Amino acid sequence: VTRDDIPTPALLLDLDRFERNLRAVAIHLSAAGKRLRPHAKTHKCPEIARRQIAAGAIGIVCAKLAEAEVMAAAGIPGLLISTEVVGVEKIGRLMRLLDRDPDVLAVVDHPDNVGDLARAARAAGHVLGVLVDVDVGGRRTGARPGEPALALARAVVDSPSLRFRGLQGYAGQCAHVVGWAARREAAGKAMAPLIETRSLLEGRGIPVEIVSGGSTGTYDIDSQLAGLTELQCGSYCVMDLDYLRIGGRSGDRLTDFEMALTVLATVVSVPAPDLAIVDAGLKAFATDRPFGPEPVERPGLAYEFAGDEHGRLLIRDPRGVVQLGERLEFLPPHCDPTMNLYDRLYAMRGRRVEGVWDIAARGKSQ
C-alpha cells in the first residue's frame, strides 16, 4: 500500500522525521539530567505513546480522564492526568481507572477536591498519587505558588488515601513566545515561583519527588531549570506551522524538531487556470490559528479555506499548476486539534504505508 492508495483527506506521519524527533528530545533531556513524560494531548494515539516510552519516556501525560482511560487500556504506563478531576462521576471513573492502573497520578488545586479524592480513594481501597498543580502565570488551573500550594500539599500529606508526589506547573503562555531569547526570559520568570514553591515545601519537611512542566517551545530552556524533574512536551513529536514560526535558538524557525505531520488531499476540481480545489477544508485542519495550512514543497501555490469540505489553491505562477486528481500534502497550522479530527494516522516510510494507527483517544475530552 502506498500514498496513492490512501483515501483523502488523510493524516500522514513521516516516520523517519518522527523517529528523529523522539531521538532529539531524548538526547537533549538525558544530557540535561531531566526525564520526559510527553503530553499525549498532541496525538491521542496509543501507538505513538508506546514509541515515546520505547524511546525513553517515563510515562505519558493526558489532558483528560478519558484520554487516560484509553492509554491505560492500551497498557501505557506512568500516566499523569494534567487537568483536575472534579465531580462525582469523574472521580468514580478515576477510581475504576486505579483498579486497572494504581500508578495513575492526578493533580489538585483546591482543598475541596483534595477531600473528595481522599474520600473516594479511601472507599475504593486505593492510595492515589497526587501532584499539586501550581499556577505559573497562565491563569488557567493551579493553586497560587508559595503558601497556598504549601497548604494544599499539607492537606494531601494529611490524607492517608492520598500520596503527595510533587508539583506540576505548566507555563502555556510562554510556549509560543516568538524569539528564543524572549521565550527564555518569559519562561524563566514564569517558572521561578514553581521552583521556589518546591524549596518552600522541602524546607517544611515535605519531600518533593516530581516537579513536572514545560513545553515544546521551552524544552531547551526548562531543561536547564534546577528543581524541575521532568518535561511534558507534546508537539515536538510531530510539530506544526505554529511551532515552526516561533523560532529556535539560532534562527527564526524552530528546526530542532522536524515537520512530521501532514494532511494528504486530492485535487477534485480545476475550475480556472489560476485556481484548483482540494477535498480538505475546515473539517480537515484545525482553524484556530490566524494562518492556514501550507502546501509541502509546492512553490507557486497558496492554500485558502473554502468551506467545510474544500480548500482553494491559488496558483500564483507556473510552478503551482496542478492536475485534476493530483495528491498534495499540507502542513497543518496546529497539530493537536488537527489530529483530533481523524480516526487514524497513516505511518509512512517514504511513500510506503508502514502502519495504520488508531487515534484512539480522538474526541475523548470527557
Ligand X SMILES: Cc1ncc(COP(=O)(O)O)c(C=O)c1O
Selected binder of ligand X within 52, 82, 223, 340 (CB under 6 A) = 82
Site string for ligand X, 38-57 (x = CB under 6 A): -x-xx---------------
Selected binder of ligand X within 21, 159, 197, 215 (CB under 6 A) = 215
Q: Beta-strand (E) ranges in the chain?
A: 10-14, 35-36, 60-62, 79-81, 105-108, 128-133, 162-169, 210-213, 230-231, 261-272, 275-278, 294-295, 301-305, 311-315, 327-331, 344-349, 352-358
First to last CA, the chain: 35
- Considering the complex, what minimum distance in angstroms separates the CB of residue 364 from ligand X? 15
DSSP annotation string for 142-171: -BPTTHHHHHHHHHHHT-TTEEEEEEEE--
Using CB under 6 A as the binding rule, the residues of this chain from 162 to 191 that contact ligand X are 170, 172, 175
- Which residue from 117, 122, 98 is spatially nearest to 155, judged by alpha carbons? 117
Of 205 and 290, CB closest to ligand X:
290
Of 82 and 159, CB closest to ligand X:
82
Selected binder of ligand X within 21, 197, 216, 340 (CB under 6 A) = 216
User: Residue 309 is placed in which grid cell?
Assistant: 469540505
User: Residue 358 is placed in which grid cell?
Assistant: 488508531
By CB under 6 A, how many residues form the interface with ligand X? 14
Of 118 and 130, CB closest to ligand X:
130
Stretch that binds ligand X, among 10-18, 37-45, 72-80, 325-333 (CB under 6 A): 37-45
Longest dimension (CA), the chain: 73
Of 82 and 266, CB closest to ligand X:
82
- Considering the complex, what minimum distance in angstroms separates the CB of residue 172 from ligand X? 5
DSSP strand pairing (327-331 vs 294-295): antiparallel
Stretch that binds ligand X, among 90-98, 180-188, 212-220, 269-277 (CB under 6 A): 212-220
- Considering the complex, what minimum distance in angstroms separates the CB of residue 247 from ligand X? 15
DSSP state, 320? Answer: G
235 makes contact with ligand X (CB under 6 A): yes
- Contact residues for ligand X (CB under 6 A)? 39, 41-42, 82, 170, 172, 175, 215-217, 232-235
